[in-house]
């Protein structure tokens, strides 16, 4: 063991000496050793359960270390220090946010230039509570008024380290209660990220979604801890764990999420997704959608596998939500309808439930309270080849005796929806489900024609 440590230390010292050729002698060796000891070693990612079709390639060795400076207080913006370190160590370096140090971010950061870089967050990072600045300067996306504190993109980017990123959400929860039209930044805004990993992080108090992943491919999220409830009477709303958009080959796994909206949501044009080994508490389920929101847009969600999920105190377990073919309003700041496309080849495999309102909810009337009007204008977006299997547990009493809802807006909109080995019961032991315009013979539930939960 002593020989192994000495060998590894020598390798680390030699690597750092390449990046700093002026270092030499005993004093420099000690400096190099101190630096090596403050760098988190990259941890390989393992896939317990299902293996993705594609995983990020192995990153080449990083040959330089950059430490991010900090004012280490709660009032001075450290953004210039952060940008400086990222630029210095881009293309082959390792950036360290040092343990025991506080960093404050008060500037919107465009980080889409990153290439072949490790970002080692051992510290506590906080975003400022200047809501006027962030509404004017955060980065806009083109979907549902999404904006972000920073925009992360590039190739071969690895972020890890065990530190905490805090969105300072309370001021946003209170402000949204006053004005639903404010633009709340997401904590991790990802745009054009490829062949990368984000793992071993603690995320707290995001103003809105914790992750919005757009225009990205081959990214793995592993061992992420998410939480951040409001400390006032104003609820933290729309705090999705992950939303994917125009992205493919995304893996989300081995994580704990305590939030107030979708645990994971596959937004338009999400393909080849694997989500596994999650504990979701307080969420709106693992959701496909919402889709069909924008008239003239063609939305696709295809080839999604969801495996081994624990769902507690949630509105839904497995959920597919589609807007009807008529203008509808879920809320004042969330309106839509009239889009087309398809949902295809979606599997929900092994899900345990406790106090979940609906174990399964598939509906094409999202945002439309009038069922008659929804059926009069059925969605042109089809839902086919859906498998839901090996569900266990108990629902809440909200829709009892119903435990699930399968509501399609026409007989041609849905096909081959299979629910098998569904052992989820209401508190009274029933297993009823509302079934509309679906093939009841493929559903391992007791179908009824009266909905107790249409919304």
Catalytic residue IDs:
284
| DSSP H or E segment with residue 220 | strand 217-227
Q: Where are the alpha helices (H) located in 138-217, listed in sequence order? A: 170-178
CB neighbours of 331 closer than 8 A, spacing ≥ 6?
Answer: 180
3-state secondary structure of 204: strand
Nearest-angstrom CA–CA distance, 13 and 34: 10
- DSSP secondary structure string for all residues of 381-426: EEEEEEEEEEEEEEE-STTTTEEEEEE-SSTTTEEEEEEEEEEEE-
DSSP state of 294: S
Nearest-angstrom CA–CA distance, 114 and 179: 36
Taking residue 11's Cβ as centre, other Cβ atoms within 10 Å add up to 12
- DSSP secondary structure string for all residues of 226-272: EE---SSSS---S--SEEEESEEEEEEEEEEEE-SS-SEEE-SSEEE
């Amino acid at each position: 063991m002593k020989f192994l440590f000495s060998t590894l230390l020598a390798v680390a010292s030699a690597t750092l000496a390449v990046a700093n050729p002026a270092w030499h002698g005993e004093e420099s060796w000690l400096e190099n050793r101190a630096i090596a000891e403050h760098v988190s070693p990259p941890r390989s990612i393992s896939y317990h359960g299902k293996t993705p079709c594609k995983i990020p390639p192995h990153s080449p060795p990083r040959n330089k270390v950059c430490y991010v400076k900090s004012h280490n207080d709660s009032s001075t913006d450290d953004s210039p220090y952060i940008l400086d370190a990222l630029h210095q160590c881009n293309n082959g370096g390792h950036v360290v946010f040092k343990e025991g140090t506080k960093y404050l971010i008060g500037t919107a950061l465009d980080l889409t230039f990153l290439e072949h870089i490790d970002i080692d967050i051992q510290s506590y990072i906080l975003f400022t509570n200047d809501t006027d600045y962030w509404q004017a300067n955060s980065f806009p996306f083109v979907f549902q008024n999404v904006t972000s504190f920073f925009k992360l993109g590039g190739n071969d980017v690895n972020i890890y380290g065990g530190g905490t990123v805090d969105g300072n959400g309370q001021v946003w929860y209170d402000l949204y209660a006053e004005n639903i039209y404010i633009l709340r930044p997401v904590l991790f805004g990802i745009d054009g990220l490829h062949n990368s990993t984000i793992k071993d992080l603690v995320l707290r108090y995001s103003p809105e979604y914790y992750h919005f992943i757009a225009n990205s491919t081959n990214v793995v999220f592993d061992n992420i801890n998410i939480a951040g409830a409001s400390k006032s009477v104003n609820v933290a709303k729309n705090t999705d764990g992950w939303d994917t958009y125009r992205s493919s080959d995304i893996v989300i796994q081995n994580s704990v999420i305590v939030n107030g909206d979708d645990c994971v949501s596959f937004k338009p044009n999400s393909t080849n997704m694997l989500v596994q080994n999650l504990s979701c508490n307080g969420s709106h389920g693992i959701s496909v959608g919402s889709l069909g929101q924008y008239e003239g847009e063609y939305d696709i969600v295809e080839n999604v596998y969801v495996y081994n999920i624990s769902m507690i105190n949630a509105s839904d377990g497995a959920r597919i939500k589609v807007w009807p073919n008529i203008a509808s309003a879920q809320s004042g700041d969330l309106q839509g309808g009239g889009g087309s496309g398809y949902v295809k080849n979606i599997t929900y495999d092994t899900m345990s439930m406790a106090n979940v309102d609906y174990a399964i909810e598939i509906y094409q009337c999202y945002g439309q309270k009038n069922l008659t009007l929804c059926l009069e204008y059925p969605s042109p977006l089809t839902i086919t080849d859906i498998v839901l299997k090996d569900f266990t547990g108990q629902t809440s009493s909200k829709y009892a005796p119903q435990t699930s809802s399968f509501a399609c807006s026409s007989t041609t909109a849905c096909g081959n929806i299979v629910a098998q080995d569904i052992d989820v019961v209401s508190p009274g032991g029933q297993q009823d489900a509302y079934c509309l315009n679906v093939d009841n013979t493929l559903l391992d539930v007791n179908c009824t024609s009266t909905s107790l939960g249409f919304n």
